[in-house]
Amino acid sequence: MIAPAVSVRFARESLTHTSDSHLTHRKAPQGDLSSAFGSRLGAARAPSLCVLSLLFCLSALGCHLPTGALPNVGHNAVDSGAVADRLRAITSSDTLPELHRANFGNCRQMVQAMYEAIHYTPAWVREGQATPQALAVISALEDSQQKGLNPEDYDASSWPARLVALKAASGNADIVAQFDAALTIGTMRYLSNLRIGRLNPKPLAFGIDLEQKHYDLPQFIVQNVLTGSNVPEILSEVEPQYLGYQRTEAALHAYIALAARDHSSALPDPQRTEKRRDTYSGAAQLEERLRLLGDWPKRTVSNPSTTTYAGPLVNGVKHFQIRHGLNPDGKIDKETLRQLNMPLSDRVIQLEDSLERWRWLPSDYPRLPVAVNIPGFKLRVFSDDHTIALRMNVVVGQAFRHQTPVFAKEMKYIVFRPYWNLPLDIVRAEIVPKLRKDRLYLTRKGFEATDQDGRVVGGRTVSAARLAQIESGRLLVRQKPGPSNALGLVKFMFPNEYEVYLHSTPTPQLFDRSRRDFSHGCIRVEKPAELAEWLLHDQPKWTLEKIKAAMRSGPDNQQVNLTTQVPVVIAYLTAIVEENGDVYFYDDIYGDDASLNDALAKGQPYRRSDLRATNGEPGPRLHAQNLTARSNLHPLFQATEPHREPLP
């Protein structure tokens, strides 16, 4: 057993997206809002992810409140007319100089709508003092790093002085209005950032619809926060309700604490790869590091005087290697040493980035999805109780030029023994040159030419006329089903604009590699028969034996529709927390975290143009039209590249 020093044991269970703002206000007729928002999730929070979405999708009910809807809010000794005039002036501008991030233009309409709803009375000040709700919100803003956010985006360091100034000059209309508006803007930024993230991910060719996550933010604050008796619980309701998100947040708390007390120096370079029973001068320091990170074997006696790399040190390093996507051979090679010496502040950033990406994911699923994590090279299938029903290795798109996109779609059907229909650019770049040298090439390699309706054209030898038709695209080329087919013996279809899907592979040896970005965009799965069995579990005739038989010797191109469509999410998380609480970190293989961090460093207001895709080089992220773009011959046609398996 391994001591889980930083393992996370976790028991707890409308608005329009724009280029520069997550949320904009929609006006609607006035009405009684209590029936619409009368029941919050709170203690009744269920594993289902749809309740929160339903709560916030009631924007059609509007944001205006009848007079008297906020009893006891805004009554203080200050001249109410002067405060109202000052609030009107503030909300008619895009800037508030008192803010650290003075420009609030991307949420000004929402701020204005909220104050219109309460007739420009102070929302957070009563009798010249901050309300209990205001103090609770300020506490949340000051503690926002625990949510993976930047406290200075919400003026965290300024609130103590503002509270003192408010108390000292409670009758000053300017101070009251500035305090109130600043807290409203900070609250809106905070709730928006918690709900759907700080950045609009569309520049990454992000294929997940965020519209479903929008809600009437002014109404939510007025109806729930300003009069709430348990503000922390109310604020937490806007966060993603995924257990994976909650475990990641708990891991962030642990790593923030670890980073604060970690003053260890870097482990010494052993000059060569350290193996079992070698002498290593940093053995005692390595033990200290493994204990800190939770990789030291549980109930193992310490030996600080040892200089031999053996026993629990080796076992601890193996556990560390597993958690960091490395080959768990127990050897201290250069990559293992690099990961061991990674500053814990960098791990904090990885966890913060993962929380941001969790917030981009859909919040409402009829059933839990099949999830692929690109940098972790893993596929997970979830049971209804949120436990993992199936887990397997995957191969994803190459980091340079052929990255697998991030998106979410519905899986609709499975195809056993599929054809592989070659894209025209591959045909022109790789098939046509081969055919010019060898007119029997298609026959020898298991390909065939067809017309646009899928009818096979011609015989074994390709004539000059047929070659011209193939090159022009009038005739198509496909690979016949069978064990050598690039798609393997089954593919899992969730139609999407990227032409990406899951499939098996004729060369499974790459699943044994620790880093598995070898494809040209599609995702190869390690256990295709088991995945098919899970997807077809409600069709009794499709037993595991029947599925394997269909793959091995069944009809070619046999399509089986799913009884119920299954969500599929392709995600990019370089930090993830497993069910047992172990925290896993992965390399930023596509550079997406680097791009995200560069954009976040610019601070509020976050803009769409701040986020740039890398795709291995500057330029747009993978799209359907360039998914199959090739600069070199396809590995299928390269006998000199033994470590690359066939596309897709």
Centroid of chain to Cα 199: 12
The Cα–Cα gap between 603 and 18 comes to: 18
- Average pLDDT in the 420-435 region? 91
The Cα–Cα gap between 63 and 116 comes to: 9
pLDDT 10s digits, 120-173: 999 999 988 999 999 999 999 999 999 999 999 999 999 999 999 999 987 899
Task: Grade residue 36 by pLDDT with cuts at 50, 70 and 90.
Answer: very low
The Cα–Cα gap between 219 and 324 comes to: 44
- The better pLDDT of the pair 195, 51 is held by 195
The Cα–Cα gap between 442 and 465 comes to: 15
For tokens 């909220």, the residue is: 114
- Average pLDDT in the 2-9 region? 43
The DSSP output letter for 2 is B
333-345: buried (b, 16+ CB within 10 Å) or exposed (e) per residue? bebbbebbeeebe
Contact indicator for 214, 53 with CB cutoff of 8 Å: no
pLDDT at residue 4 above 50?
no
> Could you tell me the two tokens for 298?
């549980």
> Could you tell me the two tokens for 469?
């038709």
Among 302-316, 471-485, 627-641, the range scoring the smallest mean pLDDT is 627-641
pLDDT of residue 350: 98
- The better pLDDT of the pair 57, 429 is held by 429
- Average pLDDT in the 383-405 region? 91
The Cα–Cα gap between 203 and 446 comes to: 40
pLDDT at residue 642 above 70?
no
pLDDT at residue 330 above 60?
yes
CA atoms within 13 A on the CB side of 258: 24
Q: At how many degrees (to 10) do helices 132-142 and 159-168 cross?
A: 160
- Average pLDDT in the 539-564 region? 96
pLDDT at residue 186 above 60?
yes
pLDDT at residue 7 above 50?
no
The DSSP secondary structure of 68-89, one letter per residue, reads TSSTTSS--SS-HHHHHHHHHH
Vertex 203: Cα angle to 199 and 206 (nearest 5): 85
CA distances from 518 to 209, 311, 404, 587, 634 (A): 28, 35, 10, 15, 12
pLDDT 10s digits, 466-481: 999 999 999 999 999 9
CA atoms within 13 A on the CB side of 435: 25
Q: What is the CA radius of gyration of the chain?
A: 29
The Cα–Cα gap between 211 and 17 comes to: 7
Share of the chain above pLDDT 70, in %: 79
pLDDT at residue 318 above 70?
yes
Mean pLDDT of the chain: 82
- Average pLDDT in the 6-34 region? 35
Q: What is the pTM of this model?
A: 0.81
Task: Grade residue 517 by pLDDT with cuts at 50, 70 and 90.
Answer: very high
- Average pLDDT in the 314-330 region? 95
pLDDT of residue 462: 93
pLDDT of residue 554: 87
Task: Grade residue 361 by pLDDT with cuts at 50, 70 and 90.
Answer: confident
pLDDT 10s digits, 230-277: 999 999 999 998 899 999 999 999 999 999 988 888 999 877 766 777
pLDDT of residue 386: 81
Q: Does a cis peptide bond (omega within 30 degrees of 0) precede residue 555?
A: no
